[in-house]
Structure formats: structure tokens, C-alpha cells
Amino acid sequence: MADVSGRTSEVWKGTRRGAGWALGVGTVVSVAALLRDGPRQTLKAAMKAGLRGREVAAEMSEQVRDLYAEAQVEHATRPADRTVAP
């Protein structure tokens, strides 16, 4: 039987890695905007981006939880006589 917790760990590891890249790119863009537009406009843009980022993260998290729940149900309801091929 496959190790489900290992796969879950890999999913979250990839998600964190992607979030780290997004934050790094966002920081570079913010610094460039700060040098160009001044602090007030840059701060406002960063706040807007942060709000949008929260929305996207919440949607993505909900989708991952739904997929995981579906997989659990399918795993629990599979016939006992079926075996998983290696």
C-alpha cells in the first residue's frame, strides 16, 4: 500500500516552495516600484497584491482539501477484493 502521508508531505513542500518563489519575486517587484513611484503608491500596491494573494491561497487550499477528501473517500470505498498493482 502506498504511503499517503509521504505524498501529502510532498504536495505541501512543493506548495511552500512555490510560495517562497512568489514572495521573492514580489519583493523584487516591490523594491523596483518603490524606487520608481515612491513609498505611498508602492505600499498601496503591495497591500492590494497581498489581499489578492490571500484570496488565491484560500481558493487553492480549498481545492487541495477537496481533492484530498475525494481521494480518501475513493480509497475507503474501493472493493476489498481489488488489489493495487505496483
Query: Is the confidence at residue 78, as pLDDT, over 60?
Result: yes
- Separation CA 44–CA 37 (nearest Å): 11
Q: What are the residue ranges spanned by the domains of the chain?
A: 22-76
pLDDT tens for 33-70 read: 777 777 788 778 888 988 998 899 999 999 999 999 99
3-state secondary structure of 33: helix
Helix (H) or strand (E) holding 19: helix 4-37
pLDDT of residue 38: 76
pTM of the model: 0.45
Query: Is the confidence at residue 8, as pLDDT, over 70?
Result: no
Q: What are phi and psi of 81, to 5 degrees?
A: -80, -10
